[in-house]
Amino acid sequence: MFRLPINDSIYLKLMLPKDAEILVSALKENQEQIKQWLIWAVNLPTVDVYKKEIIPTWLQKFANNNGFEAAIFVNDELAGMIGLHYIDWNNKTTEMGYWLGEKFQGKGIMTKTVEKLTDYCFEELELNRIMIRAVDENTKSRGIPIRIGFVEEGITREAQLLHGKYCDLVNYSLLRKDRN
């Protein structure tokens, strides 16, 4: 099963149906903060839905070699999630997304995690391009790709409907050759 160490206290692992309770608990604890930027967090599914539908879908995506959704653990506590939404094998590209619980923010956890997953994408998966998109007003999320060296490619105007308002998305990318 996929497990990626980030450092001595942080690691990524795939969620299993038995992990649904801790995931929903973390989501509920951080729902107010997460739903500001991610519309799916407005109405959280139940533990049962995660256990029987969502997590099995994530595991199938991993089995199909088409990306994954992984939990971020800090000292064995679920801190957030990160994933590759898909992998376009023809063009060797992917898009990364993430969220981190409020009490874990401001400690460099997500920056280290995105950096390590970026290395994994280039070195292990041999991808050429990684994209990250974030709502223009979400400065915390936008700071992560900037710190790692992603290039701002531009803005996709009014690309996301969030709480009745259309929001612009800022697009970032990093190419394999940018890391050399």
Please indicate, yes or no, if residue 10 is contained in any of the structural domains: yes
**Residues 3-21: what's their mean pLDDT?**
97
What range defines the domain where residue 22 resides?
Answer: 3-128
pLDDT band at 180 (very low <50, low <70, confident <90, very high): low
Decide: residue 90, CB within 10 A, 0-12 exposed, 13-18 middle, 19+ buried: exposed
Question: In the chain, how long is the greatest CA-to-CA distance?
Answer: 45
CATH of the domain at 61: 3.40.630.30
Domain assignment present for 153: no
CA dist 77 to 92, 99, 102, 108, Å?
A: 33, 15, 13, 16
Residue 149 lies in a domain: no
| The pairing of beta strand 93-100 with beta strand 129-135 | parallel
Q: Is 48 helix (H, G, I), strand (E, B) or coil?
A: helix
Q: Are 31 and 37 in contact (CB under 8 A)?
A: no
Nearest to 25 by CA among 80, 82, 105: 80
SS (H, E, C) 159-174: EEEECCEEEEEEEEEE
State pTM to two decimals: 0.94
Q: Is the pLDDT of residue 1 over 90?
A: no
Residue 145 maps to a domain: no
Q: Residue 107: what pLDDT?
A: 97
Q: How confident is the model at residue 39 (pLDDT cuts 50, 70, 90)?
A: confident
In a domain, residue 118? The reply is yes
106 part of a folded domain: yes
- Mean pLDDT across the stretch 38-53? 94
In a domain, 88, yes or no: yes
Domain count, the chain: 1
> pLDDT tens-digit profile of 71-105?
999 999 999 999 999 999 999 999 999 999 999 99
CB 44 within 8 A of CB 24: yes
Residue 13 has pLDDT above 80, yes or no: yes
